[in-house]
Chains A and B, each alone.
Chain A
Amino acid sequence: MTSRPIVEARGVHKHFGTLHVLKGVDLVVAERELVFVIGPSGSGKSTLLRCLNRLEEPSAGSIVVDGIDLLDRRTDINKARRRIGMVFQGFNLYPHMTALGNVTLALRKVLGLPRAEAEARGRVALERVHLSDRADHYPSQLSGGQQQRVAIARAIALEPRVMLFDEPTSALDPELVGGVLAVMRELREDGMTMVVVSHEMGFARAAADRVLFMDDGLVVEEGTPEQIFGAPRHERTRAFISQIERH
């Protein structure tokens, strides 16, 4: 764990007009580390995550992912994004393509693989999310949990150096959450570096190396899951934890 960090975000600010959403956030993620980000809605956690692959343009600060300075004007952002997988709350699968089509599009168009090779790799990715038998299904024919697993396959097929999860289970019916979390757990065991914005505390306790609590655009507190969930130091953290624990 002494190698250089995979993600190194320093002093990240983000303004949306007059709204100051991120007020100087630092986030450093080591290789193979799983960092959990929690916080009330509007705390800026999703915006922070979206800054890490420049879906949002930070107003100030620096973001280096796998040694690439994302905010350098000379950086080819499309090339950099191959190394950063992202999974969204709403899955965002392409409805006009099959599961395999969803997974292979970037393999073919971004990596330039021939169709046969892309499909072979795509099938491996689908196997990793236990959906080999759904390769030819369209998103509308899949359950929410299956759709999210296809979305995970779409991201990991590119063999990214880090995976970003933006509330991956928030849009799912409770009985479908488990399958997605199981896949995430396996990814973790395979050594994937992950940043997860989520309120799945059970998963955080079991799998996270570190938990960040964000509020009002700042990281208020960070520590191991035991510290943050068991003995939060800050008042705001305590209030938030007790709130989500009541559910």
Chain B
Amino acid sequence: MTAWERFADSFLNARVAAEYLPKIVDGFRLTVVLALLIVVSGLAAGLLLALVRSLGVRPLNWLIIFVVDLFRALPPLVVIVLLFFGLPAAGMQLSGFASTWLALSLVLMAFAEEIFWAGITSVPKGQWEAARSTGLTFVQTLRFVVLPQAIRLTIPPLTNRTIAITKGTALASVVAVQEILGAAHAGVSFSFNPTPLTLGALAYLVLFIPVVVFGRWVETRFAWRR
């Protein structure tokens, strides 16, 4: 066997690939579902925290800042493992899937809150004053004048952060979730051949290249014209 043949037999083995492809496809579906859930709940929670913060209630804001800094500081894997192995000790059992969803949602929430907050504070004070002077309420001003401008500013950093955190779904393999990496890993163990990992890598590319391209499109689409 030449070196290339040995390489091909290890990483591009057609027989192994055919055998484990269905598992990887299942893992792909699971990853998509997990990632979507994280994006929706993480961004929604982050936006909610930023909106609450804009009310300017001091003790509440300290709490928000504490929570946000906590989840920005902790490595996502640590949060996942804490929820999965730690909560049962407190009498709560979360599945690996739920632990990963909750952990990565909390992390995305923390980063998204900071990004949304930066967006809200970057809208000039004059916008608030002009809107309030016409009789719009605080909430109306936030909704119709400030947020549309803030979100526009936050879309590029938000897209990048969202991509980074949804890629963290691979960490779920540590708590026995058969997402792409977990399925690929299991395939390697059973077949003594790394080809399932190649399939896994391809599955990640199929999943995330469109997301990355979408992020690029969004960045140009929402580039601020002044």
Contacts and interface: CB of A to CB of B under 8 A. Distances in A.
Interface of A: 53, 55, 78-79, 81-82, 84-86, 88, 90, 92-96, 105-106, 109-110, 138, 140, 151, 154-155, 158
B147 to A, nearest CB: 10
Interface string B2-23: 0000000000000000000000
B152 interface: yes
Contacts of B130: 86, 88, 92-94, 151, 154
A81 B135 contact: yes
Given A95-B149, A95-B226, A96-B152, A86 B133 contact: yes
Nearest to B148: A96
Given A94-B145, A95-B226, A96-B149, A106 B129 contact: no
Interface string B124-145: 1011011111111100100011
A106 B136 CA distance: 7
A168 to B, nearest CB: 13
B126 A92 contact: yes
Contacts of B136: 78, 105-106, 109-110
Interface in B135-193: 135-137, 140, 144-145, 148-149, 152
15 contacts: A78-B132, A78-B137, A81-B135, A82-B134, A82-B135, A84-B133, A86-B133, A92-B129, A92-B130, A94-B130, A109-B144, A110-B134, A110-B136, A140-B225, A140-B226
Contacts of A109: 136, 140, 144
B134 A158 contact: yes
A84 B130 CA distance: 12
Nearest to B146: A94
A72 B83 CA distance: 52
Interface residues on B, range: 20 to 34
Given A94-B145, A138-B225, 12 more contacts: A81-B132, A82-B135, A88-B126, A92-B124, A94-B131, A96-B152, A105-B131, A105-B136, A106-B135, A106-B136, A109-B144, A110-B135
Contacts of B148: 96
B226 A81 contact: no
Contacts of A151: 130
Nearest to A55: B129
B144 A105 contact: yes
B156 to A, nearest CB: 16
A21 B141 CA distance: 28
Given A92-B126, A140-B226, A78 B133 contact: no
Nearest to A151: B130
Contacts of A154: 130, 134
Contacts of B132: 55, 78, 81
A55 B133 contact: yes
Given A105-B144, A109-B144, A92 B127 contact: yes
A56 to B, nearest CB: 10
Given A109-B140, A140-B225, A81 B127 contact: no
